[in-house]
Chains A and B, each alone.
Chain A
Amino acid sequence: MSLFFKIAHEPIDRQALQAPLHLSEAGGFCSFEGWVRNHNEGRAVNGLDYEVYEALATAEGRRILQEAQKKFSLSAASAVHRSGALCIGDIAVWIGVAAPHRDAAFKACRYIIDEIKKRLPVWKKEHYLDGDAQWVMCHHHEDVADR
């Protein structure tokens, strides 16, 4: 059972990440890509920076994959999150899950992206077309407060 997580400082190569998940025991593969979009909360976005607490993010990312492995019947799972400066359309996060059956692949993929968004110590600074830039506020305050 192969689990792979990393913080990437260079553009994400989806084909290179997907190849090792193509296993003969797997009957299905599910992936999710998070992309940089050109607007947020009514403002035109030009690009963004991800700041990452890398040691903790790497440990927490691996923990999330291990949790997915325990909850669902998987053949392999990989996840990569970007750090640094990204342009519109760039892949910010890539998740790939291979499983004997589709239900586990879909559910694990959803679990992994949801937990990454809630728990990975990563912060997004958006740059706007009007020249301003700001740290994006989180939408998980209640979740954090409950920990």
Chain B
Amino acid sequence: MKIYLEYFAQLRDLAARSHEERETTVTTPAALYEDIKKEYCFPFHRKQLRVAVNDAFVPWDYPLKAGERVVFIPPVTGG
């Protein structure tokens, strides 16, 4: 299925893109992150991140559906 990804902050710099479309066979954000982490050499362990689908936080075992928009949230530093 096709998934849309958006990247912010360090992850955007490391992936060298702000968004992409990707064909994947994985069904959870957890598995998707492990694939992408390897490809772009992201330094974060999954436990350091949160994940959002379609602009809402979701658990790592959320069942992904075709066409959904996934954002991995690196450690936040606002305020």
Contacts and interface: CB of A to CB of B under 8 A. Distances in A.
A64 B8 CA distance: 22
B78 A81 contact: yes
Contacts of A124: 77-78
A59 B76 contact: no
A56 B77 contact: no
Interface stretch (B19-27, B28-36, B46-54): B46-54
B16 interface: no
Interface residues of B, number: 22
B57 interface: yes
Interface SS, A side = mixed
Nearest to A32: B79
A34 B50 contact: no
Interface SS, B side = mixed
A60 B78 CA distance: 13
A55 B55 contact: yes
Contacts of A140: 75-76
A123 B79 contact: no
Interface of A: 34, 50-53, 55-57, 59-60, 81, 92-93, 113, 116-125, 135-138, 140-141, 144-145, 147
Interface of B: 6, 8-10, 12-13, 47-50, 52, 55-57, 71, 73-79
